Amino acid sequence: MAKQNGGNAGKKGPSGRSYRNATGLTRQPKKMRGRKVSSQRWLTRQLNDPFVAEAKSRGFRSRAALKLEQIDDRYNLLKPGMAVVDLGCAPGGWMQVVSMRTKLGQGTARLVGIDLLETEGVVGADIFAGDVTDPQMLTAVETAIGGAADGVLSDMAADTTGHRPTDHLRTTALLEAALDFALGILNEDGFFLAKCFRGGAEKTVLDVMQQNFATVRHVKPAASRSESVESYVLATGFHGRNRTAMQEIDS
């Protein structure tokens, strides 16, 4: 299990520079009048988040791209020529990282994404607008990737309600759907990386992963906010399609 870091002070991103605020002051958005308190907090946090600035300066569509970079730097998941599926791909930050690290367009690499939202194109990738719980949409994704994938990514999270147990259960349901898809499409020794909110309900899903992968671990990259319950589960070394336990969860 990865060590969880506290705060952004002193952290370093892919560029190697420190993220400590040089002034020690909190910057405030210019236009706050009329906005809800929650919106004001979000805007202030975004303005002062060094990872948001890092992502923007490097042309990434979201700070989430840095999370995938940090995970891949540590575990060396993405390799040239791989076939990768990105579930819940909008706005496309993860696809940008995958495209670069698999050298999409320069060889055999393939990349397919799907999201409820329209996603700006990534050169060489196939992107579908649809529901990952829709079997017809997933069949289209499977066809586009060529019937098998070396990695399945999922940064999906349900819309939050503010009630943590409910949010946890809803995001765990998306984790189950992503894992079920991965079990049916991964090549031998493939990997599965997905967002999860740790809280107990995901234990049965983790049990299924442990039956089908050589190694299962929780990871929390530095670009994830320390105060967030967000974490990622990484399963590597896929060795079989044991869907029985997954079907028991669904029944």
Nearest Cα to Cα of residue 131 among 99, 94, 90: 90
Question: CA 44 to CA 93: how far, in whole Å?
Answer: 22
Give the Å distances, CA to CA, from 2 to 29, 70, 180, 219, 237: 34, 12, 25, 5, 18
Token reading at 73: 């730097």
Q: Are 205 and 218 in contact (CB under 8 A)?
A: no
DSSP string, 5-67: P--STT-B-TT--B---SS------S--TT--HHHHHHHHHHHH-HHHHHHHHTT-SSTHHHH
Question: CA 167 to CA 174: how far, in whole Å?
Answer: 11
Q: Are 49 and 43 in contact (CB under 8 A)?
A: no
The pair phi, psi for residue 10, each rounded to 5°, is: 85, -5
Please identify every residue annotated as catalytic.
Answer: 195
Helical packing angle, 164-185 and 135-145, nearest 10°: 50
